[in-house]
Structure 1
Amino acid sequence: MYVNTTSSRVLTCFYIAGVLSCIISGYSMTSYNIHWIRQKPGKGLEWTGRMNTGSGTDVIYADSLKGQFTLTEDVAINTQFLEVKSLRSEDSAVYYCAAGLELRSGDLHV
């Protein structure tokens, strides 16, 4: 589990039954895009994808991970989900969720 506390905003990420969950508290999740990032052992950070929260459909994935990851959300419980299909050993990493504004494609401001 990873907990990021920035001022009064909290993002909690945990893994249950094949799905990573990112619970947002302290603000409305529809105010920000939620980005997913992972860090494999001994490696740098790798952006995996993002969802424009509240849209349910505006999702972008890293090219190398298209078809392997699926992002969904439940706005009623302020939670976003990352499902990894066909989990492989190379998917072993610490996964993070981060709230950010996207000003233009590729920019992440947290």
Structure 2
Amino acid sequence: SPASLTVQPDQALSISCQVSYSVTSYGTHWARQPAGKALEWMGVIWNGGGTAYANSVQGRIGITRDTSKNIVNLRLSSMRPEDSAVYYCARDSQWLM
């Protein structure tokens, strides 16, 4: 089962995703699913290093990566009760040209 993490209100959430692919070859997305609610896309860090974030978390979210270790990090500041959720990282789909 996923690891459980408790964050105090107004504190920041920091979680990391160790992936089995090269983060310079694929984008990595973060999403979350609050209990009983739909999956919500949060943001992505593309293989080139650029980022895009959902409007709902813009200004509070940061996605970074360690290319040498293939780790992708999510940081969400000013945590509030409605941020309680299961958080997922996911590889971007492969496009064949």
Q: Hey, which bits of structure 1, 4+ residues long, moved more than 2 A?
A: 13-18
The answer to whether the Cα contact below 8 Å between 1:36 and 1:48 also exists between their aligned partners in 2 is: yes
> Equivalent residue for 1:29?
23
The TM-score normalised by the length of structure 1 is 0.71
1 CA distance for matches of 2:46 and 2:4? 20
User: Which has the larger share of strand?
Assistant: 1
Q: Identify the residue that residue 49 of structure 1 maps to in structure 2.
A: 43
The percentage of counterpart residues that share the same residue type is 43
Q: What's the counterpart of residue 91 of structure 1?
A: 83
Q: Which has the higher contact order (CA 8 A, sep 6+)?
A: 2
Q: CA RMSD in A?
A: 2.4
Aligned length: 90
Determine if contact 1:35/1:100 at 8 Å carries over to the other structure.
Answer: yes
Partner of 1:5: none
Name the CA distance, whole Å, in 1 between partners of 2:5 and 2:92. 22
Q: Could you tell me the TM-score, scaled by structure 2's length? A: 0.80
**Is the helix fraction higher in 1 or 2?**
1
